[in-house]
């Protein structure tokens, strides 16, 4: 994550906590947050595409057995996060 993205997230937290900022700074923060969400959604999409092209993780168990993707709750969480990010990105732009 870039310094600008860190600063944007910190500013967003401050605004949420009620700290006043000028409108231009708020718009800049929202745009930076939007860009970060888009970047994360793209990365998640790539990982989930790998999942879609395979059946699981071979050798995950000590006995060499494959673990199907259904055995990883993190994959379901990634699906949910990707769906939420995608929905957000379809919303209004500043």
Q: Cα 9 from chain centroid?
A: 13
Cβ count near 5 (within 10 Å): 14
Backbone angles phi, psi at 72, to 5 degrees: -115, 105
Q: Is the pLDDT of residue 32 over 80?
A: yes
Domain boundaries, the chain: 3-89
Question: How many helices and strands, by DSSP H and E, does the chain display?
Answer: 3, 2
pLDDT of residue 41: 95
Alpha-carbon distance 90 to 88, whole Å?
5
How do residues 48-93 score in pLDDT, each as one tens digit?
Answer: 999 999 999 998 888 889 999 999 999 999 999 999 999 888 887 7
Q: Is the pLDDT of residue 20 over 70?
A: no
pLDDT over 90, % of the chain: 46
**Mean of pLDDT over the chain:** 84
């Amino acid at each position: 994550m870039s310094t600008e993205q860190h600063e944007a997230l910190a500013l967003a937290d401050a605004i949420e906590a009620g700290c006043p900022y000028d409108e231009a700074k708020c718009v800049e923060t929202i745009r930076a947050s939007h860009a970060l969400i888009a970047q994360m959604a793209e990365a998640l999409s790539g990982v989930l595409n790998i999942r879609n092209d395979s059946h699981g993780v071979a050798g995950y168990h000590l006995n060499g057995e494959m673990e199907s993707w259904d055995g990883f709750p993190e994959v379901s969480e990634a699906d949910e996060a990707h769906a939420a990010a995608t929905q957000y990105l379809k919303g209004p732009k500043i």
